[in-house]
Structure 1
Amino acid sequence: MYKNLRAKTGLAVVAVAAICGGSWWTSNVRASDHDESPLVKMDAAQDLTDVYVFESGDNKTTIIVCWAGFNDSRPQPDDSALYDGNALYAIKVDNDGDNEADLTFYWRYGTNAKDEIGIQWTGIPGTDAPAVGPVETVFDAGQFARVWTGHADDPFFFDAQGYLEALDSGMVGFMNNRDFLAGYNVTAAAIEIDTDVLTGGNPIQVWATSARKE
């Protein structure tokens, strides 16, 4: 049984996209969440940082979820990914505008008899069987998707000094060569899937959740 500890929703991570016709909606939401309550900071595997949704090819959409970034319980930069066998992650997609998930892609981690770490995906259209493969490797997940998970640079840019100066002065003063997160890492999972399968030709909302086995 899994207890839902972390849901990335609302302004922080919901990506609203109209991918049909090859264009994004002008009302995309872009934000990040790299600081948390003390309870969440104690568990880096549950500390989701970002959700990215973007077109990645002809009729292809990629969704990336990151966690275990800048976090009080995990020194940065870290030297390896955080694959927690007691964690359950999910990407949820609303493609009919009712704010309820119409597609849910789950993934979790485990080890084989050789203590090699692998990932298992379920809920992906195009296959009834779980898609299982090694970490740090791209592999097919049914006929419509391919997946990857691994250790990565934190892709989010944040000028922390500029933010603090703006709070103090009331003047915006961000600089594009001051990235507080440069050199920090995240663990990430990504799925690239056929856009028409994902959206049904409609605008979509995407969010991610994490849960821990009780």
Structure 2
Amino acid sequence: MVAIAAICGGSWWTSTVSASDHDESPLVKQDAAQDITDLYVFNSGTNKTTIIVCWAGFNDSRPQPDDAAVYDGKALYTIWVDNDLDNEADLKFYWRYGANAKDEIGIQWEGIPGADAPVSGPVETVFDAGPFARVWTGHADDPFFFDAQGYLEGLDTGNVSFMSNRDFLAGFNVTAAAIEIDTDVLTAGNKIQVWATSARKM
């Protein structure tokens, strides 16, 4: 099963596209580890770009707020980066989860420029992934804002009813993975497109 999250934009994209995916088909709802909610891509400092992928957020088949992250050893996640605008990925960052002999959960990244071998480390920890990137994964507050009441009122009345102090997702959680990487390494000096997928080993 593959779920595409979004294509997001920034100052070096051809265009800016925003998307979110917080409700799913019944099949995807049964598998929180495959349920990607959001993809964020943004400038995070001088020559730094951060990409964050979130999953296991709110849907009506799963209690929220949840009390733990969803680290599934049979799930494979991928960030795809097209940096020459041919709609084909030029960079592919893969990650998956596993446990050591002490039952401690860790993450393993592959495909990160400058890291010749897979890079592994504990969850809930920031660590270097080669000379150009650092990574983190963990349990987080859902960063997406949505005024569900305003949305429903707008459908009912035909008037815009959104309010900035009503966030339906406040206090709900996601599991997330983040990579901060040198912008020149990520983009090769070009505009980029970014998307994310999840897959399951059967």
Provide the TM-score with structure 2 as the length reference. 0.97
Does structure 1 conserve the Cα–Cα contact (< 8 Å) formed by 2:9 and 2:18? no
Corresponding residue SS for 1:197: helix
Q: Which of 100, 109, 132 pairs up with 1:112?
A: 100
- C-alpha distance in structure 1 between counterparts of 2:62 and 2:71, whole Å: 13
- C-alpha distance in structure 1 between counterparts of 2:122 and 2:192, whole Å: 29
- C-alpha distance in structure 2 between counterparts of 1:199 and 1:17, whole Å: 12
- C-alpha distance in structure 2 between counterparts of 1:209 and 1:87, whole Å: 10
The answer on 1:100 being equivalent to 2:88 is yes
Greater mean deviation of Cα atoms: 64-73 or 137-146: 64-73
The answer on 1:62 being equivalent to 2:50 is yes
Instruction: Give CA-to-partner distance per residue, 1:49-78, whole Å, 9 cap, x none.
Output: 000000011100000000000023321000
Does structure 2 conserve the Cα–Cα contact (< 8 Å) formed by 1:43 and 1:73? no
What's 1:72 paired with?
A: 60
Q: Which of 2, 6, 11 pairs up with 1:5?
A: 2
Does structure 2 conserve the Cα–Cα contact (< 8 Å) formed by 1:137 and 1:148? yes
CA RMSD between the two structures: 1.1
What's 2:178 paired with?
A: 190
- C-alpha distance in structure 2 between counterparts of 1:121 and 1:136, whole Å: 14
- What is the CA-CA distance between 1:7 and the residue it aligns to? 2.0
Instruction: Give CA-to-partner distance per residue, 1:9-32, whole Å, 9 cap, x none.
Output: xxxx1013343xxxx76x311221
What's 2:33 paired with?
A: 45
What's 2:110 paired with?
A: 122
Instruction: Write the mapping of 1:141-160 to structure 2, written as runs, cut at 5 A.
Output: 141-160=129-148
The one-letter code sitting in structure 2 at the alignment partner of 1:5 is: V
Does structure 1 conserve the Cα–Cα contact (< 8 Å) formed by 2:10 and 2:43? no
- C-alpha distance in structure 1 between counterparts of 2:123 and 2:72, whole Å: 12
The one-letter code sitting in structure 2 at the alignment partner of 1:97 is: L
Residue segments in structure 1 that go unaligned for 5+ positions in a row: none
**May I ask how many residue pairs the two structures share in their alignment?**
202
Does structure 1 conserve the Cα–Cα contact (< 8 Å) formed by 2:8 and 2:19? no
Does structure 2 conserve the Cα–Cα contact (< 8 Å) formed by 1:17 and 1:205? no
Greater mean deviation of Cα atoms: 68-77 or 88-97: 68-77
Does structure 1 conserve the Cα–Cα contact (< 8 Å) formed by 2:33 and 2:56? yes
Does structure 2 conserve the Cα–Cα contact (< 8 Å) formed by 1:60 and 1:195? yes
Q: Which of 9, 19, 34 pairs up with 1:16?
A: 9
Provide the TM-score with structure 1 as the length reference. 0.92
- What is the CA-CA distance between 1:6 and the residue it aligns to? 1.5
The one-letter code sitting in structure 1 at the alignment partner of 2:86 is: D
- C-alpha distance in structure 2 between counterparts of 1:92 and 1:82, whole Å: 22
- How high is the sequence identity, in percent, across the aligned residues? 79
